């Protein structure tokens, strides 16, 4: 690894990110197709507890997908709007998330057990003061590291769900690592790079995920619908991204 190159990349990205605001994050969150999929699901379910359970289970099973994440969450939303039962999850996985299916079905049983235990012990609002507690509990129950991608991704999707239901974000986001998927790994595979990025911005890691992940899949029409100021910031980030590939 070229340390100097990583440092230069870090400094350039920090310079780009300093122009973004919390309002920009809120706008981008609502443009995230995954966020919109959750909005539709909640509207159709009208059951808070089931909604949060389904979101967490699906997030914890979101790996080695056979399609783009946005497509997968839209299919998830439609499927469980029509099949409002956790018992239908194995059928859903078999239809739409079947890479390494036997291993996934085995994991699914453990995931459902962990999520059910979580909600038997805690109410949803317990995590409002500190979302890190969700990460800690899932990590212990699933025997995974607290920065494991599916664990922190589950926290991000819980954050989305919480905002949809209660119109506010939980606290404690700064203690949760960023979910490093293939899009973010193009920026850097080095964990120290990301830790340095977090230390030098005013955003939590999972808020940074919104800034760095969502713009990479905005279509031209959506991008052009944004106000000029935000559009310029996104275009500057995309120019940076194209330069480092």
Rounded to whole angstroms, the Cα distance separating 245 from 241 reads: 7
Contact predicate 172/205, CB 8 Å = no
Catalytic residue among 145, 181, 199, 227: 181
Q: Which two tokens stand for residue 122?
A: 């805690």
Annotated catalytic residue, options 27, 149, 186, 235:
149
Contact 42, 51 (CB under 8 A): yes
DSSP 237: H
Please say whether the beta carbons of 89 and 57 come within 8 A: yes
104 is catalytic: no
Residue in the block written with tokens 């920009």? 24
- Is 181 considered catalytic here? yes
Please answer whether residues 161 and 55 qualify as being in contact, where contact means their C-beta atoms are separated by less than 8 angstroms.
yes
Torsion of CA 210, 211, 214, 218, to 10 degrees: 150
Size (the chain), residues: 245
Could you list the active site residues?
A: 149, 181
């Amino acid at each position: 690894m070229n340390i100097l190159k990583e440092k230069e990349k870090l400094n350039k990205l920090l310079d780009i990110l300093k122009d973004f605001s919390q309002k920009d994050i809120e706008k981008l969150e609502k443009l995230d197709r995954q966020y919109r999929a959750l909005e539709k699901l909640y509207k159709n379910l009208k059951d808070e507890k089931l909604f949060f359970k389904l979101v967490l289970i699906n997030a914890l099973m979101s790996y080695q997908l056979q399609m783009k994440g946005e497509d997968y969450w839209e299919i998830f939303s439609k499927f469980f709007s029509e099949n409002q039962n956790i018992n239908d999850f194995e059928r859903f996985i078999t239809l739409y998330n079947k890479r390494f299916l036997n291993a996934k079905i085995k994991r699914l049983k453990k995931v459902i057990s962990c999520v059910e235990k979580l909600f038997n012990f805690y109410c949803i609002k317990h995590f409002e003061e500190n979302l890190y507690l969700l990460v800690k509990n899932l990590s212990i129950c699933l025997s995974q590291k607290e920065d494991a991608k599916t664990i922190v991704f589950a926290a991000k999707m819980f954050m989305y769900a919480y905002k949809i239901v209660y119109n506010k974000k939980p606290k404690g986001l700064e203690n949760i690592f960023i979910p490093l998927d293939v899009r973010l790994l193009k920026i850097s595979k080095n964990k120290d790079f990301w830790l340095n990025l977090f230390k030098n911005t005013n955003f939590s890691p999972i808020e940074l995920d919104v800034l760095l992940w969502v713009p990479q899949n905005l279509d031209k029409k959506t991008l052009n619908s944004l106000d000029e100021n935000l559009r310029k910031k996104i275009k500057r980030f995309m120019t940076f991204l194209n330069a480092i590939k």
